[in-house]
Chains A and B, each alone.
Chain A
Amino acid sequence: AQTVTQSQPEMSVQEAETVTLSCTYDTSENNYYLFWYKQPPSRQMILVIRQEAYKQQNATENRFSVNFQKAAKSFSLKISDSQLGDTAMYFCAFMKLKGPNSGYALNFGKGTSLLVTP
């Protein structure tokens, strides 16, 4: 079974600053995908960024980027120029590659609550 660990239950950052959320995972798989999801107080879970394990290049999406260290099984999320709207729970998730005609199951961490302050 895959486990995902987010060691920071809560974090805060000032507006316009940079913050890094950590995530580690445990798996024996070689091919898999990693995701960061954001869940604002409105409760809609939104994809922030994803990374394919076979890609060495770190994924980036505007102000969001990851530091993917496959050997260390680490997948941290960096948010640059933090905005008030970034306040949310952030979940790291793991998905292993599965066969045809089977769904793709996500394994989630417990989440990090990020507060962006003015």
Chain B
Amino acid sequence: ETGVTQTPRHLVMGMTNKKSLKCEQHLGHNAMYWYKQSAKKPLELMFVYNFKEQTENNSVPSRFSPECPNSSHLFLHLHTLQPEDSALYLCASSQEIWGPRSTDTQYFGPGTRLTVL
């Protein structure tokens, strides 16, 4: 699966570090998403971007800062994280099709395994 790529695949950082996660989609989609996957919990939607505009921020702490420079790229900037932020961060993309019975499938990247020490 190479439609949605994420780098790095693994990241270890201290609480005072600043790092960024990168997501790139090669599917020509116009919507991108960040999800957090923690052990024993459902995937949590963090941010939604549609046509490069942020349309949802799911009460995410400000230490997570998304950036979407264009429809193909999505970043998640991290600073002053806490150990409980350790998780798998998944990026997804989809093609928004508006209509009374539009449907849309999200395609996921492989994720970045983040460990905060």
Judge whether A50 and B42 touch: CB under 8 Å. Answer: no
Q: Among B31, B42, B111, which residue has the most Cβ atoms of chain A within 10 A?
A: B42
A43 interface neighbour in B31, B56, B88, B102, Cβ under 8 Å: B88
Contact present for A104 and B104 (CB under 8 Å)? yes
Contact A103 B94 (CB under 8 A): yes
Q: Is A64 an interface residue when CB atoms closer than 8 A count as contact?
A: no
A62 interface contact, C-beta 8 A:
no
Interface residues on B, range: 35 or more
**Contact A44 B48, beta carbon cutoff 8 Å:** no
Contacts of A107 in B (CB 8 A): 42, 45
Q: Which among A42, A95, A104, A111 has the highest number of chain B CB atoms within 10 Å? A: A104
Q: Which 4 A-B pairs have the closest CB atoms?
A: A103-B48, A45-B108, A100-B98, A108-B43
* CA distance in complex: A103, B71 (Å): 13
Chain A residues whose CB sits within 8 angstroms of the CB of B105 once the complex forms: 35, 47, 50
Contact A103 B98 (CB under 8 A): no
Q: B106: which of A4, A99, A104 is its contact (CB, 8 Å)?
A: A104
CA distance A44 to B104 in the complex (A): 19
> Can you list, as one digit per residue, whether each of B74-117 has a CB less than 8 Å from chain A (1) or not (0)?
00000000000000101010101010011111111111010000
| Bound CA span A27–B25, Å | 31
B110 touches A105 (CB 8 A): no
For residues 44 through 61 of chain A, which have their beta carbon under 8 Å from a beta carbon of chain B? Answer: 44-47, 50, 52, 54
CB–CB B41/A105 < 8 A:
no
Q: Is the CB of B107 within 8 A of A105?
A: no
User: Is there an interface contact between A103 and B103, defined as CB atoms closer than 8 Å?
Assistant: no
Contacting residue for A42 out of B40, B110, B113, CB 8 A: B110
Given contacts A43-B110, A45-B108, A103-B96, contact A52 B48 (CB under 8 A): no
Contact B1 A46 (CB under 8 A): yes
